[in-house]
Amino acid sequence: MHRIPLKTPLLLLFLVASAEVKADRHKPSTTYRNFCSACHGLKGDGFGKASRYLFPKPRDFRASPLQYATSINRIASSRDILHVVKNGISNSSMNGWSDLSDIQLNEVVQDVLSFRLEGARERYYFAVSEDTGESSTGTPSISTANTGLSAYLSQNTVAGPKWLLASLKIGEPNLTQGKLLYQTQNCHKCHGVDGRGSYGIDLTGEFGYPAFARNLVQESYKYGSEELDVARTIRLGIAGTKMPASPTLTDEQLRDLSRYVLSLKGQETIETTNNQRYRRAIGATLQRK
């Protein structure tokens, strides 16, 4: 029998840590199992029994960033998670669960936070185990690797201060300038010149799944249709998607672009099915009004 040598103590660390993580894996609440696991899975990995029928796919709390985040570092806070659980996400299979009790809602929030923390810990130990090269000071020790874990978890799971835009309502917005910014910031390349979203554009999301840009005219905006919601989405982007952040815009430019986007919104809002969303993402054009 051939023995496989351990190139560094870090691989041993990974094996030991993985065993500990599996043995101490978070056991979700009854509330999560009853209302969330069918889509998001008992492990929070997005592979629930219903996930194969849904589009967009349910969030993987372990490996993917939580998209709705109002913090300046784009990491979702417990407040952000609660908002999504209570209100859901428009034009998706994520229902709002506002009828749950405060205790039940808090249980689900804590479950999501625990899954995220476990996933970050697993990624850290895996990354450390991959680092088999010798540095000028020698291979990092197991104690050094564990010290780095705390910093990594803080960087990837702790939400920063809430993002605020103080000057949103200062002065009158310039829609002409907003329209120009819509072009120069390349918003039209995904959302279309007319704002009606991507049709046949080759967009790919996480893990290779097809994706599409929101119809700004007819669809509900994913994370809020108030001016501050739109401004925040433009400024911070949406983590885990093709929607980029726009950190270089001035507050005045952000105000103008946000107001222009809102000016595109029509009076009627359409809702789409899982099949319609998938067909649109792969380039099958929906009927436009």
* pLDDT > 90? residue 236: yes
pLDDT at 166: 67
pLDDT at 163: 95
Do 243 and 185 meet the contact criterion of CB atoms below 8 Å apart?
no
The Cα-based distances of 211 to 38, 45, 119, 148, 257 in angstroms read 22, 19, 24, 35, 23
pLDDT at 284: 67
Neighbours of 270 (CB within 10 A): 16
Give the architecture (CATH level 2) of 175-281. Answer: Orthogonal Bundle (1.10)
Closest CA to 77 of 111, 108, 113: 113
Which pLDDT band holds residue 182 (cuts at 50, 70, 90)?
A: very high
pLDDT at 287: 47
* pLDDT > 60? residue 143: no
| Candidate from 39-43, 166-170, 258-262 with smallest mean pLDDT | 166-170
State percent of the chain over pLDDT 70.
Answer: 82
For the chain, which residues make up each domain, given as ranges?
9-157, 175-281
Q: Which residue has the higher pLDDT, 100 or 207?
A: 100
* pLDDT > 60? residue 262: yes
First to last CA, the chain: 69
CB-based contacts of 18, cutoff 8 Å, min separation 6: 122, 125
Fold of the domain built from segment(s) 9-157: Cytochrome Bc1 Complex; Chain D, domain 2 (1.10.760)
pLDDT in tens, 77-132: 999 999 999 999 998 999 999 999 999 999 999 999 999 999 999 999 888 887 64
pLDDT in tens, 12-38: 555 555 555 555 789 999 999 999 999
Which pLDDT band holds residue 3 (cuts at 50, 70, 90)?
A: very low
Q: What is the mean pLDDT of residues 137-161?
A: 78
C-alpha span between 250 and 232 (Å, rounded): 13
**Two domains, one topology: 9-157 and 175-281:** yes
